Amino acid sequence: MKKLFALLLLAIPLTAHAEWGKFEYEFDEEKPWAEIEAQLPPYPKEENLLPLFVSAATDNKFFVDAASISAGEDGVVRYTMIVKSSAGASNVSFEGIRCASRERKLYAFGRKEGAWSRARSSKWEPIRYQDRNRHHHMLYDDFFCPNGIIVKNPQEAVDLLKRGFRQ
């Protein structure tokens, strides 16, 4: 009798498993992705810049404007990047990283007078690993999309940037 009871107990999960096959999946992945329109942030201020070590192979210094970081409901982290050369030139750009597809987008360039100029060609491009200036790759992997998942909020990204690495 005990053996029969044990066999019946073992058979119960099989019926549940059989019903599982009838379950219909409705994931958001089937719905077309829609990007939220990016709003240009205020021009970066020196006191809000967080340093980002990229590589010893470049003399450029990289910074992210902490005040500009946003984590959108569309799965895009938007931020302002500042790259300073050893000769003193600065490049300022407002960019986005889409965590789900490992892509980046340039929205605007900063001008000397502290204004933004929208990028003429603003399309999503794959993030590739490059030795010299691999900042997009680092931002994706270590700060904005750890393990391929978007940060919960801008403060989490700021905290990761301040620590200089992900946990």
Handedness of CA 120, 42, 163, 57 (dihedral sign): positive
| Angstrom distance (rounded) from CA 150 to CA 134 | 19
Mean pLDDT of 18-24: 53
Both tokens assigned to 114: 């502290």
Residue 9 or residue 34, greater confidence: 34
| Angstrom distance (rounded) from CA 115 to CA 111 | 5
Residue 84 or residue 27, greater confidence: 84
18 — pLDDT class (breaks 50, 70, 90): low
Whether the per-residue pLDDT at 37 is higher than 90: the answer is no
pTM reported for the whole predicted model: 0.78
CATH class of 46-163: mainly beta
pLDDT value at residue 4:
57
Tens-digit pLDDT profile for residues 98-142: 999 999 999 999 999 999 999 998 899 999 887 656 899 999 999
Domain boundaries, the chain: 46-163
Mean pLDDT of 24-42: 75
pLDDT value at residue 132:
58
Residue 1 or residue 53, greater confidence: 53
Mean pLDDT of 58-87: 94
Residue 15 or residue 68, greater confidence: 68
pLDDT value at residue 34:
84
Residues in contact with 92: Cβ distance below 8 Å, sequence separation at least 6, in sequence order:
43, 44, 80, 81, 82, 109, 110
